[in-house]
Structure 1
Amino acid sequence: MENILGYCQPGNFDKKVDLPPPPYDAAITQNTEPLELPLSGNLELSENDVYEALLNHVSKFICYGKGVVKEMIIIKMEQFYAYRHSLETFTENRQVCWSYEPYAGGHIDGPLMKQCYDPWEITVDPLRQFDRHNVKLIMPHTEMLQACPDCGGAGRIECAFCHGKGKMTCNTCNGSGYTFGFSGEDRQMCVHCFSGTVTCAHCKGKGIHGCSICSEAGEIKCYVQLIVHWNNYTDSSLIEHSSDIPKDILKKATGELVYDEINDRIKPIRYLLGDKENKSVVDLINKHIARYFSKAKPLAHKQRIQRIPITKVTYVWRNSTNKFWVFGNEKTVYAPHYQQKCCCGCTIQ
């Protein structure tokens, strides 16, 4: 770091150095009073809702029979809830590197003016929260002048195509000054060059051209560039009671948004339910902190909780007892043991 922010000769332009973020104090989260989240409201389905959901499900399959839906007798409906907890953190990373630009005159804010700041001491506000973007700026008191490394301070460099001669070999006559007919005997003077050489098109015969690095100024202004990156990191977990619905199916469902807030610190959330849900929230927060906060500075946190309704339906059809589940705002049906399936397999319409 001293070699970059100290005052040695600049070099390795654009070689970026990652700056570790300030250490995160986990006690800030641990000592924050948990938010009590009362989950009130009734999301239970009626029998008509259940019949309609199962009928819609069966109608998607060509080979499924609808007799079960029309003839079944519902004997029990049980209500459960699953919870999707998501935690998104808006973070900041910083890098520094030597950079330069042509010197066009003016004041040089160098190290003799004032001691250079630590990169994390400079206040840089994001343009938008929870939006990935970056900004670049010059670190105060790091500017210095240097002779242009490309032209040595001359402002002009030798043409690389003609090597400073201003002339190049004619491609038409290959430098002989003459062209020949098909028989090789009809020698004529080359009408393109008349001499075997042509004026270099790149430098227009001057043998030199203006230096593009310093814009012909002969000097460049070097400085330490600060690059600030803002990024988002997200973790989520699905918390459920024993509903017997496979998790990969249940995770596609949506539910009622019961919590949606942005805070400058992570607030643990305590459901008014049981230890399992509360532990899942704490586990997600701890995993999130361990995964991201050592490599990025957290600025803001967005937490969301969805409550996903699940209805377990037990029914009788032709003296056979069976069950299925209806879940989510979509009223998706999970019926792995539906009795009227065709053995040849089905396709979804």
Structure 2
Amino acid sequence: MPMVKDEEAREALVSHAAENCCWGTKAAKELNFSNIDHSAAFHYVLETFSESRKTNWASEPYVGQSIDSPYNGPAPVPWSITVQNPPMFQDTVIYQEVPHTATVKPCHDCRATGYRRCHNCYGRGTTRCNYCDGRGRRAVSRYDGDRHYTDYEHCSWCGGDGRRRCSRCSGTGRIVCITCNANGQLKCYIRLTVEWKNHVEDHIVERTNLPDELVRGVSGEQVFQEEHPKVWPIKGFPINDVNTGSSMLVQRHTLAYNRERLHMQRHQIRVIPVAEAKCTFKDETFTYFVYGFERKVHAPEYPQQCCWGCSIL
């Protein structure tokens, strides 16, 4: 694994401080290194690509399309229906009509009329005039030369009757049924839902105080990869905690997804370099980490995390 030299660790910290608002870079530029300890984090990843199927009733407006009814034969069971498999380890969902299950039925939402009562005017075709608040007249202020007084006049928006034509249904009192799209009939059938899911879990072995979740987001060296319809736990890796994590995850996937059809499994081990730098700045000792091939920095103890007088909150 690549070793991080003093100046490389300093440059990484300077860049990290510059990227953080309100962090000063003076400490990174002037610190003194006491020691840099190099180690490695091990990232084990297990992927299980499986398929599940379920059926449910579905409907769509009937506009004269062909109907594959039960008269054409018995409906097949879900797992006997042929579907096109997607690329491996990619989440995919498809919907497909089950053969020989379609029928034509009257629309249940509009009672086969194609229209429903307008919910805006409740079928009346008119709504209360908002300009006069349904009174048919509106108050106006007048002045006769000596005093101000209030008078009333017919509302010009509703013609004085307090109601206006409904804008939702154009005064008809009914709207198009969205279930059958005004056709009055539905094609009802059993819909097959096929879902391919890539189940991913990982196990991280890391000996320092670097948070494990940071290891997932950086690159490292891949030292092992295997892909089979069913993989076996790793047993011969030099780090026993990796073997233990592999055995635990493989067993967990076997039990958790036993109701799904297993297509493929793969697992891999990545080794991520970790450098723990111990340094001092103005008699203050702190530690930070440089990790991954990208040389990311984790420095929670950095002494200049706030620049005095900053106006940004």
User: Shorter chain as normaliser: what TM range?
Assistant: 0.5 to 0.7
**How much has 1:56 moved relative to structure 2?**
4.8
**How much has 1:143 moved relative to structure 2?**
1.7
Q: Which amino acid aligns with 1:158?
A: R
Query: Which of 234, 240, 243 is the equivalent residue of 2:200?
Result: 234
Query: Which of 53, 60, 64 is the equivalent residue of 1:94?
Result: 53
For residues 169 and 211 of structure 2, the distance between their equivalents in structure 1, rounded to whole angstroms, comes to 68
For residues 87 and 129 of structure 2, the distance between their equivalents in structure 1, rounded to whole angstroms, comes to 59
Unpaired stretches in structure 2, ≥5 consecutive residues: 14-26, 143-148, 287-301, 305-313
**How much has 1:300 moved relative to structure 2?**
1.5
CA distance change for structure 1 residues 154 and 278 in 2, over 3 Å: closer, same or farther?
closer
Task: Say whether the 8 Å CA contact 2:72–2:100 is kept in structure 1.
Answer: yes
For residues 187 and 282 of structure 1, the distance between their equivalents in structure 2, rounded to whole angstroms, comes to 86
Q: Which residue of 1 aligns with 2:154?
A: 189
For residues 277 and 192 of structure 1, the distance between their equivalents in structure 2, rounded to whole angstroms, comes to 78
Please give the secondary structure, in 2, of the residue aligned with 1:181.
strand
Unpaired stretches in structure 1, ≥5 consecutive residues: 1-42, 70-78, 309-327
CA distance change for structure 1 residues 188 and 139 in 2, over 3 Å: closer, same or farther?
same
CA distance change for structure 1 residues 130 and 186 in 2, over 3 Å: closer, same or farther?
same
The question of 1:208 aligning with 2:174 is answered yes
Please give the secondary structure, in 1, of the residue aligned with 2:196.
strand
Q: Which residue of 2 aligns with 1:333?
A: 275
Report the TM-score, using the length of structure 1 for normalisation: 0.60
Report the aligned-residue RMSD. Answer: 4.0
The question of 1:112 aligning with 2:76 is answered no
For residues 278 and 68 of structure 1, the distance between their equivalents in structure 2, rounded to whole angstroms, comes to 31
For residues 39 and 138 of structure 2, the distance between their equivalents in structure 1, rounded to whole angstroms, comes to 94
For residues 249 and 257 of structure 2, the distance between their equivalents in structure 1, rounded to whole angstroms, comes to 14
Q: Deviations over 1:222-270 (max 9, x none)?
A: 2222222222222333569xxxx43857883865323334332324555
For residues 174 and 195 of structure 1, the distance between their equivalents in structure 2, rounded to whole angstroms, comes to 11
Query: Which of 186, 195, 198 is the equivalent residue of 1:220?
Result: 186
Query: Which of 264, 271, 279 is the equivalent residue of 2:229?
Result: 264
Query: Which of 60, 76, 101 is the equivalent residue of 1:142?
Result: 101
Q: Deviations over 1:259-314 (max 9, x none)?
A: 33433232455538698876664444223322x323543221122133x4xxxxxx
Task: Say whether the 8 Å CA contact 2:46–2:201 is kept in structure 1.
Answer: yes
Task: Say whether the 8 Å CA contact 1:91–1:300 is kept in structure 2.
Answer: yes
Q: Which residue of 2 aligns with 1:300?
A: 264
Moved more, 202-211 or 231-240: 231-240
Identity level (%): 25
Task: Say whether the 8 Å CA contact 2:47–2:201 is kept in structure 1.
Answer: yes
**How much has 1:199 moved relative to structure 2?**
2.3
Q: Deviations over 1:34-66 (max 9, x none)?
A: xxxxxxxxx7x8xxx6xx646755886768645
For residues 297 and 232 of structure 1, the distance between their equivalents in structure 2, rounded to whole angstroms, comes to 12
Matches within 5 A, 1:1-349: 53=5, 56-57=8-9, 65=32, 84-182=43-141, 186-196=151-161, 197-238=163-204, 245-246=207-208, 248=210, 252=215, 255-269=220-234, 271=236, 281-290=246-255, 292-306=256-270, 308=271, 328=272, 330=273, 332-334=274-276, 344-346=284-286, 347=302
CA distance change for structure 1 residues 282 and 204 in 2, over 3 Å: closer, same or farther?
closer
For residues 195 and 152 of structure 1, the distance between their equivalents in structure 2, rounded to whole angstroms, comes to 37
Report the TM-score, using the length of structure 2 for normalisation: 0.65
**How much has 1:151 moved relative to structure 2?**
1.1
For residues 343 and 189 of structure 1, the distance between their equivalents in structure 2, rounded to whole angstroms, comes to 87
For residues 62 and 153 of structure 2, the distance between their equivalents in structure 1, rounded to whole angstroms, comes to 53
Please give the secondary structure, in 2, of the residue aligned with 1:271.
coil
Q: Aligned pairs, how many?
A: 263
Q: Which amino acid aligns with 2:82?
A: T
CA distance change for structure 1 residues 100 and 68 in 2, over 3 Å: closer, same or farther?
closer
Q: Which residue of 1 aligns with 2:17?
A: none
Please give the secondary structure, in 1, of the residue aligned with 2:72.
coil
Task: Say whether the 8 Å CA contact 2:6–2:33 is kept in structure 1.
Answer: no
**How much has 1:89 moved relative to structure 2?**
1.3
**How much has 1:214 moved relative to structure 2?**
0.9
CA distance change for structure 1 residues 286 and 248 in 2, over 3 Å: closer, same or farther?
farther
For residues 169 and 272 of structure 1, the distance between their equivalents in structure 2, rounded to whole angstroms, comes to 78
